[in-house]
Amino acid sequence: MKSQKKLEDEEEKITLEQFIETARHQLPPSSELRPVTAESFTEWHKAKKAADEAADMKKKELAKEKGTGITGRDFFQSGEYKEDEEEEDGEDWDLSQFRKELEEAIGEGESFHLGAGNPQVEKEAMTEAAQANGSV
């Protein structure tokens, strides 16, 4: 059994030279191929570069239309986020007014507890109180 598998594996393997020759035979005849010269290469390279740039621009335009597809790095480098900050019509937070109203409410006798109604905060408070009493 093992000897048969080894023989089959050896028969299926082809050398690099054999692979190259089979690939060469699959090519069209040399009369149909265009020789590569410095001029033909530069012509091809310019055309490829222009096509790549056009595809990249199209991709960016589609991404802008969809609102997605732009990477975080591209967004940061473009500086568009700065424009968004300037155009923002939202209200700015005025914490001085909040503090003033909070002091008035406390002055009227209202009390505020952080985390009231939050079971995790209440559990931590109970644990701290128990530790302070030494019962844990």
124 vs 73: CA distance, rounded Å: 42
Q: What is the pTM of this model?
A: 0.32
69 vs 60: CA distance, rounded Å: 8
50 vs 34: CA distance, rounded Å: 22
Query: Over pLDDT 90: what percentage of the chain?
Result: 21
Residues contacting residue 33 through CB under 8 Å, at least 6 positions apart:
27
Average pLDDT in the 64-73 region? Answer: 73
136 vs 130: CA distance, rounded Å: 6
Structure tokens at 104: 């008035």
Structure tokens at 80: 């568009």
Q: What is the pLDDT of residue 115?
A: 63
